[in-house]
Amino acid sequence: MMKHILKTIFITLFVGTTFIAKGQAGYNYALYDVGTAVSFNTVYGDAETTTMMPAIHFNFTYNATPYTNFVFEVQLGKLRGGDSVATNSGRYFNNDFAAFVFRGQLQMGEIMDYSRSPFMNGLKNLYVSLGLGFVRNNITQISRTSEKVPGFYTGGDDKTKEPFLPIRIGYEIKLFNRYSQPSAKIDLGYNYNYVFGDNLDGFTAGAKKDVYTQFTIGVKFAIGAALTSYRKQITY
């Protein structure tokens, strides 16, 4: 009798668990992602010409939902611009920078119904992002004088720390595992970073603050069990 009862309980639990798992297929997601990316950066500051330079990013993401994310990121790379010979100012710089960013990210899937249209389903991964950053500047090469204009000199510092406002738009391509859970993501983005100081390029000249932009491509991987359930199906 006891064996029959235990067998019945086991079968009931197994069938119930299987039913729940199947019922949640396409709804569950992992709370955390880790990832890396490369970016190509351009400074718009006090140098007269711009040069695109690379950086590498490392990031950690908390997914409040599949479409509402909070990202902490570290960026390490180079910024460069100017020409010490060809320009009138003679300005040239090379900055080995490190940046630390925290930003919130909202994907369109959070605020739209994407279940009835292939177009809207593709649009759901488009996102906007805003946050706060901090950049540490390390000017390794610089020219603040001009060969064409005798006595010309531009002020500035070689080592500074400055806050900045990161504004980002992008698109996240979600890759799903056999349980229809997002297990990996390809992240394409464009960043506009408004620096609250004027020493990103090592020059303090002009009335405008410095800006650097980034074209970014990266990959993220879900970590931990995908036990959190979203209110609607993630994949269609």
pLDDT digits (tens, 9 = 90+) for 144-186: 998 888 878 899 999 999 999 999 999 999 999 999 999 999 9
Judged against a pLDDT cut of 90, whether residue 15 lies above it is answered with no
Judged against a pLDDT cut of 60, whether residue 1 lies above it is answered with no
Nearest residue to 25 via CA among 182, 223, 186: 182
What value does the mean pLDDT take over residues 193-208? 92
Judged against a pLDDT cut of 60, whether residue 47 lies above it is answered with yes
Give how far Cα 173 sits from Cα of 153, 184, 192, Å: 48, 8, 21
What value does the mean pLDDT take over residues 23-34? 87
What value does the mean pLDDT take over residues 34-63? 97
Q: What is the pLDDT of residue 229?
A: 96
Q: What is the pLDDT of residue 25?
A: 73
pLDDT class for 124, splitting at 50, 70, 90?
Answer: very high
Could you say which DSSP state residue 153 is in? B
pLDDT class for 53, splitting at 50, 70, 90?
Answer: very high
12 burial (CB, 10 Å; 0-12 / 13-18 / 19+) is exposed
CA gyration radius, the chain: 25
> What value does the mean pLDDT of the chain take?
90
Identify the residue with better confidence: 94 or 236: 94
